[in-house]
Amino acid sequence: MSNNNYADIPSAALTGSMRDFRVPGGVDLLERTQGFFRWQDLRRQNGLWPFSRATEDGPKTVCLAQDDRGQKLRGVNFASQDYLSLASHPAIKATAIETIERCGVHSAGSPALVGNTSYSVALERKIAEFVGMEHVVLYPTGWAAGFGVVKGLVRSADHIVMDMLAHSCLQEGAHAATNNIHLFRHLDNDYCRNILEKIRAKDKDNGILVITEGLFSMDSDTPDLAALQDLCHEFKATLVVDVAHDLGCLGKEGRGHIGMQNMLGKIDVVMGSFSKTFASNGGFVACNSRAVQEYLRFYSAPATFSNALSPTQAATVLKAFDIVDSLEGRILRLELLANITSLRRELNEAGLDYYGDPSAIVCVKMGSEGLARLVSRQLSELGLVANLVEFPAVPKNAARIRMQVMANHSEQNIADAVQILKAAKAQAEHELERLGEPNRGREQRAA
């Protein structure tokens, strides 16, 4: 069907969520996946499934991409996580080529069994120095680092106290480790204190892991890290901070919020990802204890039983850290911040609202899932590549378009993106009216 034929969009394509299919029923494990696929494919056939897209030539500021039906689209790109534009940096590419020539493309072993290289050993030392910690363990992905540090440290009798908006890797690690999981209101340290008091009133013998993030990617906000670390000391708990989205790209020295809040070396455990700023897959956990480092090496399964980072990955991340930690890195952060400021200003001027504080993630408020899906469909047609985020990744009726800013976006890229987003939202609101109030009513009842 034509993407311009809004009148025929069925209500089911504008309502429902992936949560509806999280716990499917039925005896046949394979057959019961059909319900999700029918709903997904209904959205797909109506141009309302914007996920699983692929770029043709990498995360450039303007890119050619295709959706999961193979249909091509070209547009200004605000969908990629390459905050300092290092993925195509000449020195990064040269390092990758040189490393392939020297070492090949594969680590060919886990870190426990000869999978390390001189590059990964040097990278561990570099990260430790960068974040002001003593020791580092590398992981094959950032997700593995988050899951692995939680599952590696926590046992079934222990407790986990985490910000309710903590990333999926941390939540999945928590559920794999213990049933004693306690969520506190987002950024609410007083709420966290109440939970810790109740736990310690009943259990003085087992461990407590408190989990938060340096920068929350859906809301672009940050906790008071010093106060949270003090709480952990008071109640003999251990604090883990995920710095995936702010390390390297925020702050004068690129240390993210742990640097900006003067907490370098003062957090119990820091974990992060290379995939946002450091031009590669992979992740790390940093700590101040050799015993903790060695324990995670052999009791954190994603580190022990996954192949180590390839020599190319380790070498390129090491080079990325060198750039981030240089004058060039400081200039790139200033360019990124200028682009962030410009995007937020132009969104304001266009009458579009967004969440949070200045960061490389600017989530533009849409509201209902139906409206956001129609906006997302329009973006592809008008020439903007950006990501739809909807329930259950965010609260119901708080859907948003997530704009991810890069240092090498131009002013024209930003102006084009805002005008497209403004036009797409206006058109989507008009089309939602044409589709009739029943669609809106269903969404409100579902909320």
pLDDT at 67: 92
CA angle 156, 158, 159 (to 5 degrees): 115
pLDDT exceeds 50 at position 441: no
Mean pLDDT rounded to a whole number for the chain: 94
pLDDT at 5: 58
Within 13 A of 175's CA, how many CA atoms are on the CB side? 6
Residue 77 three-state SS = strand
pLDDT exceeds 50 at position 443: no
pLDDT at 435: 81
- Euclidean distance between CA atoms 259 and 120, whole angstroms: 24
pLDDT band of residue 238 (cuts 50, 70, 90) is very high
CA-closest candidate to residue 124, choices 286, 294, 308, 311? 286
Encode pLDDT of 315-363 as tens digits.
Answer: 999 999 999 999 999 999 999 999 999 999 999 999 999 999 999 999 9
Alpha helix stretches (DSSP H) within 14-104: 34-45, 90-103
In terms of phi and psi (left: phi > 0; alpha: psi -120 to 50; beta: otherwise), the region of 85 is: left
Q: Which pair of tokens denotes residue 342?
A: 């410009």
The pairing of strands 135-139 and 62-66 is unpaired
The pairing of strands 62-66 and 54-55 is antiparallel
pLDDT at 7: 60
Give me Rg for the CA atoms of the chain: 23
* Residues whose CB falls within 8 Å of the CB of residue 237, separated by 6 or more in sequence, listed in order: 161, 196, 207, 208, 209, 210, 231
pLDDT at 276: 96
pLDDT at 434: 85
pLDDT at 39: 97
pLDDT band of residue 437 (cuts 50, 70, 90) is very low
pLDDT exceeds 70 at position 6: no
The 10 Å Cβ neighbour count of residue 295 is: 15
Percentage of the chain with pLDDT > 70? 96
Alpha helix stretches (DSSP H) within 54-117: 90-103
Q: Which residue(s) pair with 66 in the sheet?
A: 54, 72
Which sequence spans correspond to the domains of the chain?
37-77+327-446, 90-324
Encode pLDDT of 361-397 as tens digits.
Answer: 999 999 999 999 999 999 989 999 999 999 999 999 9
pLDDT exceeds 60 at position 407: yes
The pairing of strands 159-163 and 181-184 is parallel
Architecture of domain 37-77+327-446: Alpha-Beta Complex (3.90)
Per-residue HEC secondary structure of 12-25 comes to HHCCCCHHHHCCCC
Encode pLDDT of 261-317 as tens digits.
Answer: 999 999 999 999 999 999 999 999 999 999 999 999 999 999 999 999 999 999 999
The mean pLDDT value for 226-255 works out to 98
Encode pLDDT of 65-102 as tens digits.
Answer: 999 999 999 999 999 999 999 999 999 999 999 999 99
Per-residue HEC secondary structure of 309-370 comes to CCHHHHHHHHHHHHHHCCHHHHHHHHHHHHHHHHHHHHHHHCCCCECCCCCCEEEEEEECHH
CA-closest candidate to residue 213, choices 156, 281, 269? 269
CATH class belonging to 90-324: alpha beta
- Euclidean distance between CA atoms 233 and 150, whole angstroms: 18
CA-closest candidate to residue 151, choices 91, 63, 211? 211
Q: Which pair of tokens denotes residue 67?
A: 């959706």
pLDDT at 43: 97
Q: Which residue(s) pair with 212 in the sheet?
A: 241
For residue 26, the one-letter residue type is G
Percentage of the chain with pLDDT > 90? 94
pLDDT at 170: 98
Encode pLDDT of 181-195 as tens digits.
Answer: 999 999 999 999 999
The mean pLDDT value for 414-426 works out to 98
- Euclidean distance between CA atoms 41 and 19, whole angstroms: 16
